[in-house]
Structures are given as C-alpha cells and as structure tokens.
Copies of this chain bind each other. A is one copy, B any other.
Amino acid sequence: MKKVGIVGANGYTGSELVRLLAFHPNIELSFLYSRSNSGIRISDLYPDLATVCEMVLTDKPVEVDILFLCLPHKESQNWLSQNAVGDDVLIIDLGNDFRLNGEFNNRNFIYGLPEINKKNLSGAKSIANPGCFATAIQLALLPLAERGLLNEVYTTGITGSTGAGQSLQATTHFTWRNDNISAYKTLTHQHVDEVLQQLNSFNEKEVSLNFVPWRGDFTRGIFTSSTVKSDLELSDIEQLYREFYEEAPFVKVSEKAIDLKQVVNTNRCVIHIEKNENVVVIHSAIDNLLKGASGQAVQNMNIAMGWEENLGLNLKAVGF
C-alpha cells in the first residue's frame, strides 16, 4: 500500500481524487491538506463522502509516497517552495504550473497525457497533469497532428460548471446559469498554448487554433467540435484514429454519433469524426473532473507506479 497525500483536497478536483482514491486497491490516504479548511472533516464539506472517507483536513503534511497537488494556478510552485518533498516522491500536479515549462527545482515534469507520453510517464517522479479542455481538444486532434495533417483548427468547446471551481461567482449562480449558454475567454483561453505546444511538437507545419469556449448549463463534462480541412477519405481518417488509440484503454473512436453523457462519471474520452467535401469535424467528449483532471491524475499515477492503467478507474458511468 502506497501512502498518498492530497494538497488542496477541499476543492473540486481534490475531493474528486478522494472519491477515486478511497476505493483504489494499492494506496492509502495519509493526509488531506487544506489551509483554509484545516480541522474540518472532508465529509462535512462533501457529504457524499460520508462513510466513504471521514478524514479531517490538515495543514500539516506528513511523509508520503505519492503527492497530488490540486491548487489554483501558480500555487503549486509556492507550495513546493514552502514544503520539503523527498526526491523519490511521485508528484502529480493538477494545476497548470508545470505544463508549459516542466523544470522546477531539480524536477522535470512530464506532460501527463498518457495517450502520447505513456513511455515517459512510466517510472516518472514528476507529472504535469493536462488541463481539461486541453485534454479534450488534444485527443481530438493528435492523430492528425502526428501525421502533419493539421493546419488551421476551429474549435468550439462547452464545459460544465465544475470547470469554474467552487467559488461563488455571478456565472456560477444557479439562477443565472440554469438554461443559459455563454462564451468566455474567446480565442484567449489559457489551454490554447498548452494544446499548441503538444500539437506543434508533432505537426511539422505550425498549427493555429481558434478556440471559442462556452459555459454550459450542466455540472460535469466537456464536449468539443473541431473543424479542419483535409483531403483524406473519412474512412482513412477513422482508421488513422483507431490505430493511434489502439493501446489507449480510455479512448474510444466511435463510428456513431456521440453525446456528453456517454462519458460523465468515467475516465473515458469518446471521439466521433464526420466529413463533408474537404471539411472534417472531430467531436470529443470527456468528464472534465475525471479524464480532464482527477481521473487522468490517477491514470498517470498508475502508469508511473507500474500498475495497471485502469486500476481504480473502472467507474460506473452515470449513463442517464
């Protein structure tokens, strides 16, 4: 049993990690760190955890084998600067501090998208877990990028309210958000750079990504549609995707139309491709808190530790 600590366990991705790790067979939770909620039982913050995990949040971390950082952006660096962590501890950062530049202290954070980095992640000690939109968009585009087939990409994506975190904001007020759709960070979302860094590492031609993110009136999930130009036949593109994801247990290239709820409460990504004349549209869907955050973090832990990739991740879809 490996010892695990979660820093920022009081947030959405932190508590989702608790939900996952409470039933993971190879680990035991050693501490749940939160400065603001220290002394409070995690199940008092998230009552669905009652009987599942009754640990008390602490601001005193102890020694562990694996450390998850679930902190607001830029806070991971601060925390690591202020808290000593042994060199042999596996650190998985769910924030965006180390995604674009993985060098920090003596560590070199590997970008934790297992579908492209599984080899590097095996045995890794430092992992930068990808962003939620970045995961959904990359999984939709990587097979084309690998072949150098990407040029200009037009993507619209919609995200659930959990993507905005637990803070109370005008745009997370139920009265405002229910039955509502809106755009935000048009063309300037912070995940664009993250996506381009990966795509451009594959694709010879420089890729441009015009990304319009929308806020959706649901809590969990991301659905994206990316439009690109290609002269390949649809069947060839599909074949290319199937081959690319042959060894990816959580990615499914579907010949049929997909919808968001196929993946809600799972670590899966579903992809569907359509084509009309020379225009290709690739749809992808993930659960932003799972494949887009905490689920992928567990997947990365499994790979880094040499465990089965889907350990603790055989999650029942919400389905309905």
**B262 engages A183 (CB within 8 Å):** no
A187: nearest chain-B partner, CB-CB: B276
Chain B residues with CB under 8 A of A173 = 166, 168, 172-174
- Is residue A158 within 8 Å, beta carbon to beta carbon, of the partner chain? yes
**B319 engages A46 (CB within 8 Å):** yes
- Is residue A116 within 8 Å, beta carbon to beta carbon, of the partner chain? no
**A263 engages B181 (CB within 8 Å):** no
| CB neighbors of B among A202-255 (8 A) | 210, 212, 214, 216-221, 223, 225, 227, 249, 252, 254
Chain B residues with CB under 8 A of A51 = 249, 252, 268
Q: How many copies does the complex hold?
A: 4
Chain B residues with CB under 8 A of A289 = 320
With contact pairs A180-B260, A214-B223, A249-B51 given, residues A317 and B175 touching in the complex (Cβ less than 8 Å): no
Q: Which of B48, B223, B256 contacts A181 (CB 8 A)?
A: B223
With contact pairs A182-B259, A223-B181 given, residues A15 and B319 touching in the complex (Cβ less than 8 Å): yes
A49 to B315, CA, bound (A): 11
Give the number of chain A interface residues (Cβ < 8 Å): 83
| CB neighbors of B among A266-320 (8 A) | 266, 268, 270, 272, 274, 276, 279, 281, 283, 285, 289, 314-320
Chain B residues with CB under 8 A of A276 = 186-188
The 13 sampled A-B contact pairs (Cβ below 8 Å) are: A12-B175, A47-B262, A48-B317, A50-B254, A174-B177, A175-B219, A178-B217, A179-B218, A182-B258, A182-B259, A183-B274, A186-B274, A220-B320
